[in-house]
């Protein structure tokens, strides 16, 4: 592989169980991977240590094939655990901090006793930054860990009969350097980094992950049967899924992909609605397809530790990652664009005309440590500023979009579908460009073209352009419109304590108000900035004109629609533009937005 050639790194992760039918399924997985010439990462769990058959087999696989032996902390419940630690808690990430440390130290020493060395890779469903920072400090050998189940939260909770207490929405979808502030935040610099490479539990369908249950559409082939994404004994979706992840190499310097399937899905007698023979078939066919891509030098199989070593050598801290995903399930041509760095994670939906659909402000660095000794208990999700899914509605919900007014009538780009393309400039900044949407107000028709440039340091430069007006002399009002809130669920939070502020270019000072659900408005001619300070998530968000605006508002909501609104308006004719900057910063006493012309 040459230096110029991009590749998608593949981790194949297996987890053994002792019961005979499950052990046979685990051996099937190992044999199929080795038949393709792939090496695996074997996640040994606490119950495995008392099974000589498993320990001997894993050692043999390590010696024969070079498979990595890692420590899986997803399976704790066994008699030894209950008797030693006196708890029925199923999830390691929900133990108290002191018990996490005690259990983890026991697991690490037990692992070393069994294999003669400490593991370099760990497997969690989710883990918090406080524990992971402690673990890295006390066991420096740890190089990488599965730190989150991407977007498993509200949708997953409802889809699993409200029995799956795993709330981890709002994090990166791929490999990243986790922050000491919050495990779901990419580190801003070396001092902020825990010192490991964080990985997702699975790759997800990046459209279905936000509009559906993402566990049904992922790099877990048997999940796709549960989601009924197949026809008879054929599943072309699995091939499209791999191809769509390979497309991300067009936009990023590398790709990451993993397969992590429990033997339960492939064992005899475990019928998850469809026979295990079908799941085994799809599992093998997925490996075969990945092997064909490896033969084309587009996929490189590695163990978790090997990938982490490559990542640390080649990827700098706070390197942005993007994902431009299209509907591969139904063929609707819908696109969802994702961007992530240490300042925020942003999702833009082309189906809403190129509107911001979801925004997680990492700049706030909100703590989300879990367990009975924490205020958040089981909720590890990173709070949003914008979430059209959880606080949705294209008219009255949480969204960042453009509204257009003419002769007293108003419409929005969110009412039209479009497509987009992605460009990276010489400064390394990404710009997503949307095809024009055609709108009509009265007898006037016109096109709106949108672009978002991710200028780093928490800034998104947004440009809206009007073209093809049916009446070139007509004047319309463009309004950049940010309707936000905060939270992690579908239920509203207490907005009291939020501070709204506005300043005009001719003002000597700013005006502000504290949120009290009174529908008040701070309006400014020739605005310099509009700001919402949200102490609950330690975040300040501002809307700033970059080339002037005629009017700006910071608007307070009310209890039935508990949002804040920041908006910039400009009157334009054909060919006119509205340029603005959406800026997200950590909230501090002097957290005022930057001036015009960023």
If the chain, 598 residues long, is cut into consecutive pieces of 10 residues, what is the mean pLDDT of each piece?
Answer: 75 96 96 98 96 97 98 88 90 96 97 98 96 98 96 83 84 97 97 97 93 84 83 89 97 97 85 78 96 97 98 97 95 94 97 96 95 95 95 83 96 96 94 97 96 96 97 96 95 95 90 96 96 96 96 96 96 97 84 38
Query: Is residue 578 within 8 Å of 568, Cβ to Cβ?
Result: yes
N-term to C-term CA, the chain: 41
157-160: long-range contacts, CB 8 A cutoff, minimum separation 24: 159/213, 159/215, 159/216
pLDDT score, position 396: 79
Per DSSP, the three-state class of 301 is strand
Output the six-digit token pair for 344: 């925020």
**Can you state the angle between helices 52-65 and 97-115, rounded to 10 degrees?**
70
Q: Is the CB of residue 463 less than 8 Å from the CB of residue 493?
A: no
Report how far apart, in Å, the C-alpha atoms of 132 and of each of 101, 124, 439 are. 10, 11, 50
What's the pLDDT at 573? Answer: 96
Q: Are 357 and 350 in contact (CB under 8 A)?
A: no
By residue count, the chain amounts to 598
Helix H or strand E encompassing 352: none
Other beta carbons within 10 angstroms of residue 452's beta carbon come to: 23
State the sign of the Cα–Cα–Cα–Cα dihedral 390, 391, 393, 398.
negative
Q: How many CA atoms lie within 13 A of 160 on its CB side?
A: 15
The pLDDT score that the predictor gives to residue 225 is: 82
Long-range pairs for 208-215 at CB < 8 Å and ≥24 separation? 208/329, 209/150, 209/151, 209/173, 210/151, 210/336, 210/347, 210/357, 210/358, 210/389, 211/389, 212/155, 213/155, 213/156, 213/159, 214/150, 214/151, 214/152, 214/155, 214/156, 215/152, 215/156, 215/159
Cα 568-571-576 angle, rounded to 5 deg: 100
Residue 596 confidence (pLDDT): 34
pLDDT for the residue 271: 57
Is the alpha carbon torsion for 246, 248, 251, 254 positive or negative? negative
Per-residue pLDDT at 591: 45
Give the tokens for residue 529. Answer: 């900035």
**Tokens matching residue 317:** 């801290």
pTM of structure: 0.95
Helices (H), 66-159: 79-85, 97-115, 129-138, 154-159
- The conformation of residue 187, written as its DSSP 8-state character, comes to P
Phi and psi (nearest 5°) for 304? Answer: -60, -45
Query: Distance between CA 451 and CA 148 in Å, rounded?
Result: 31
Residue 26, helix vs strand vs coil: helix
287 DSSP 8-state letter? H
């Amino acid at each position: 592989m040459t230096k110029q050639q991009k590749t998608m790194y593949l981790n194949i992760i297996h987890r053994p169980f002792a019961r005979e039918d499950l052990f046979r399924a685990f051996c099937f997985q190992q044999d199929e991977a080795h038949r393709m010439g792939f090496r695996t990462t074997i996640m040994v769990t606490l119950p495995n240590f008392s099974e000589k058959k498993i320990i001997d087999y894993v050692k043999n696989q390590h010696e024969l094939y070079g498979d990595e032996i890692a420590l899986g902390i997803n399976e704790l419940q066994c008699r030894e655990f209950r008797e030693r630690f006196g708890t029925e808690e199923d999830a390691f990430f929900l133990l108290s901090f002191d018990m996490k440390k005690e259990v983890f130290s026991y697991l690490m020493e037990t692992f070393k006793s069994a294999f003669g060395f400490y593991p370099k890779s760990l497997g969690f469903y989710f883990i918090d930054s406080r524990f992971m920072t402690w673990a890295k400090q006390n066991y420096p050998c740890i190089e990488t860990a599965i730190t989150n189940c991407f977007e498993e939260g509200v949708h997953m909770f409802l889809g699993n009969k409200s029995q799956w207490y795993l709330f981890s929405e709002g994090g990166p979808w791929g490999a990243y350097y986790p922050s000491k502030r919050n495990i779901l935040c990419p580190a801003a610099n070396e001092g902020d980094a825990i010192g490991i490479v964080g990985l997702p539990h699975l790759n997800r369908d990046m459209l279905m992950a936000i509009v559906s249950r993402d566990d049904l559409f992922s790099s877990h082939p048997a999940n796709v049967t549960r989601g009924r994404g197949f026809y008879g004994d054929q599943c072309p979706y699995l091939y499209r899924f791999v191809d769509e992840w390979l497309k991300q190499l067009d936009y990023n310097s590398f790709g990451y992909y993993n397969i992590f399937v429990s033997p339960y899905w492939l064992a005899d007698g475990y019928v998850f609605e469809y026979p295990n023979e079908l799941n085994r078939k799809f599992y093998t066919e997925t490996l075969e397809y990945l092997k064909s891509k490896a033969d084309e030098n587009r996929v490189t199989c590695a163990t978790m530790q090997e990938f982490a070593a490559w990542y640390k050598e080649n990827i700098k801290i706070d390197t942005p990652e993007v994902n431009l995903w299209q509907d591969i399930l139904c063929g609707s041509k819908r696109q969802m664009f994702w961007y992530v760095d240490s300042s925020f994670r942003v999702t833009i939906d082309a189906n809403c005309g190129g509107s911001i659909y979801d925004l997680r402000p990492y700049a706030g660095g909100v703590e989300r440590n879990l367990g009975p000794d924490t205020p958040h208990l089981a909720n590890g999700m990173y709070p949003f500023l914008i979430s059209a899914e959880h606080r949705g509605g294209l008219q009255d919900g949480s969204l960042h979009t453009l509204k257009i007014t003419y002769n007293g009538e108003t419409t929005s780009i969110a009412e039209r579908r479009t497509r987009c393309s992605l460009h990276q400039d010489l400064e390394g900044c990404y710009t997503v460009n949307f095809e024009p949407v055609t709108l009509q107000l009265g007898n006037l028709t016109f096109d709106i073209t949108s672009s978002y440039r991710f200028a780093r340091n928490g800034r998104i430069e947004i440009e809206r352009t009007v073209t093809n007006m049916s009446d070139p002399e007509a004047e319309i009002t463009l309004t950049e419109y940010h309707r936000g809130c905060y939270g992690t669920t579908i239920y509203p939070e207490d907005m009291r304590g939020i501070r709204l502020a506005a300043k005009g270019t001719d003002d000597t000072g700013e005006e502000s108000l504290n949120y009290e659900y009174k529908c008040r408005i701070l309006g400014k001619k020739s605005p310099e900035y509009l700001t919402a300070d949200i102490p609950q998530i330690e975040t300040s968000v501002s809307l700033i004109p970059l080339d002037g605006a005629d009017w700006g508002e910071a608007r307070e909501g009310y209890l039935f629609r508990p949002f804040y609104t920041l908006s910039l308006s400009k009157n334009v004719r054909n060919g006119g533009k509205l340029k603005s900057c959406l800026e997200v910063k950590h909230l501090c006493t002097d957290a005022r937005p930057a001036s015009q012309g960023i």
